[in-house]
Amino acid sequence: MEKIFARPEALLDISTHYCPGCGHGIAHRLIAEVVDELGIREKTIGIAPVGCAVVAYDYWNFDCSEAAHGRALAVATAIKRVRPQNIVFTYQGDGDLAAIGTNETIHAANRGENLTVVFINNAVYGMTGGQMAPTTLLGQKTSTTINGRSRQMHGYPLKISEMLALLPGVHYIERVSFHNPQGVLRARQAIKQGFKNQIDNLGFSMVEILSPCPTYWGLSPKESLEWIREVMQKEFPLGMIK
């Protein structure tokens, strides 16, 4: 009997610690599948964030580094410049990439670093207890926006992908989402594009994934997917941004 579906070689046989309905498990697997498909496992170096996915390196079967919160793109810049023959990617949440790390993100993009960025946008800070993220929606309740995010007190959700698209150093940005199986497949294609761009030396590539966080959205896993489709996508439209 032909085996037509298996664990990717780039994904270790370890149960993850993520919540039921969390998008990280899906994202980790998609990256692993793409790495296998492109045959780059032995060349890949991943940089894990600070956040729920801080131990992402325990789940992947390739070289990885941690980074201080927000600094992943600085770490990645250096690794890629010293070892351009390796495929270097960062995996970052909304706090890592668009709050504390905004400066490193903008400048790595502006320098046109030949890197791949997988940006997990779940509109909240999971690991630390559900606080507001830069991408939290107006009206969304979090542990630090008890009455819902208000533009007077907290400003607007940050459209970091649209901002980065203005920079000539950026080659490719696409926003995808895990709201249904077609969404997941589209996300896989985008991630593959992001890695292919690096192999082809085309420059800074980023995939923003709208990902569910049922625990801190206060929704069931199924409701979370609906919320992405009906609410989040209105603020963060899917598609090619650059």
Partner 1 sequence: MSKKRILISGNEAIAAGAIHAGCNFYAGYPITPQNELIAYMAKHMPLSSPPGVFIQAESELAAISMVYGAAACGSRAMTSSSSPGVSLKQEGISYISGAQLPAVIVNIMRGGPGLGNIAPAQSDYFQATRGGGHGDYHLIVLAPASVQEAYDLTQKSFYLADKYRIAVMILGDGILGQMMEPINLFTQKNNTHILKPWALTGCKGRKPNIVKSFFLREGALEKFNLKLQKNYELIRRKEACYEGLFLEDARIILVAYGTMARIAKSAVSQLRLLGKKVGLIRPISLWPFPEKAFQSRSKKVKYLVVEMSYGQMLEDVKLAVSALAQVAFLCRSGGGITSEEEIIKKVKKIL
46-57 burial: b if 16+ Cβ within 10 Å, else e: bbbbbbbbbebb
Provide the minimum distance between the beta carbon of 204 and partner 1 in the complex, in angstroms, as a whole number.
15
Whole-angstrom distance, CA of residue 168 vs CA of residue 204: 10
Stretch that binds partner 1, among 28-36, 64-72, 188-196, 222-230 (CB under 8 A): 64-72
C-beta separation of 89 from 56 below 8 A: no
- Which tokens in the block code for residue 1? 């009997």
Whole-angstrom distance, CA of residue 22 vs CA of residue 170: 29
Q: Single out the residue of 14, 78, 185, 240 in contact with partner 1 (rule: CB under 8 A).
A: 78
Stretch that binds partner 1, among 104-112, 128-136, 153-161, 211-219 (CB under 8 A): 104-112
Q: Single out the residue of 16, 77, 121, 211 in contact with partner 1 (rule: CB under 8 A).
A: 77
Q: Single out the residue of 1, 4, 6, 82 in contact with partner 1 (rule: CB under 8 A).
A: 82
Stretch that binds partner 1, among 42-50, 131-139, 156-164, 175-183 (CB under 8 A): 42-50
Whole-angstrom distance, CA of residue 189 vs CA of residue 144: 35
- Applying CB under 8 A, does 41 fall inside the site for partner 1? yes
Q: Phi and psi for 26 in degrees, rounded to 5?
A: -65, -45
- Applying CB under 8 A, does 42 fall inside the site for partner 1? yes
- Applying CB under 8 A, does 14 fall inside the site for partner 1? no
Distance of CA 123 to the CA centre of its chain: 12
Binding site for partner 1 (CB under 8 A): 41-45, 47-48, 54-55, 57-58, 60-68, 71, 74-79, 81-83, 85-86, 103-104, 106-107
